[in-house]
Amino acid sequence: MNHLKRKLTMSFNIILFVSVYFFSITQSNARSWRVGQIPNGNKFGCLNCHNSSYGGSLNSFGFSVKSVVGRGSKATFWNSVLAAKDSDGDGSSNGEELGDPDGDGKSTDGAEITNPSNPESKPQKPVEPVLPELDIKKSKSPFSFNFKTVKGQKYEVQATNDFSMWDFVDTIEGTGLEMIFTDYREALFLRQFYRLKVKN
């Protein structure tokens, strides 16, 4: 009887070991391919998205990632929308923290990499905002200009005739493509100067 009991216990231990072994393979595979898709993701590994280095519950950046990935999907998920968000609310966007401010998948050389889910961890150096370049066509009426946008980023068009006061003209939401602004207002002044403000 005792012999049979010992045998059963041994079999149970083997089954338990095999289950734990397979579970850990599944977990580590899941971690490695998700981390590999985040710019400079290896610096914080699983702690980019989880509260523990072993995985488990999601942190603030993990929930942002979850909102753009399909369950079990291996498709690329890093993009300009995820980069523009500030998941941990520390004032630095996820892209700024991970060294890819515009979310195009190309990291900035020498960027300081901080944790996008930890408000205590943020770049100490001032980060240059991504400023759009205005492409102005000459002798065009009504006046218009083109500019490259970051998807989800809002831009405010302002105008002045004397540089003492800037008037709000329009708000444009970026699509990730080049966009055009046209001023359809009645021309009241001989000259108008325009500027584009990147809104936070």
Which residues here bind Ca ion, judged by CB under 5 A? 86, 88, 90, 92, 118, 121-122
Strand extents, DSSP E, 14-129:
50-52, 55-58
3-state secondary structure of 129: coil
Cβ atoms of residues 133 and 148 within 8 Å: yes
**Interior angle at CA 73, CA 68 and CA 77, nearest 5:** 40
Our CB check for Ca ion shows the closer of 92 and 153 to be 92
Closest distance of CB 92 from Ca ion, Å: 4
Our CB check for Ca ion shows the closer of 59 and 147 to be 59
Residue 49 CB-density burial (10 A; 0-12 exposed, 13-18 middle, 19+ buried) = buried
Closest distance of CB 180 from Ca ion, Å: 32
Residues, the chain: 200
Alpha-carbon radius of gyration of the chain: 26
Closest distance of CB 116 from Ca ion, Å: 5
Closest distance of CB 11 from Ca ion, Å: 49
Closest distance of CB 45 from Ca ion, Å: 15
Our CB check for Ca ion shows the closer of 48 and 118 to be 118
Our CB check for Ca ion shows the closer of 49 and 172 to be 49
Question: Dmax over Cα atoms in the chain, in whole Å?
Answer: 104
Our CB check for Ca ion shows the closer of 26 and 124 to be 124
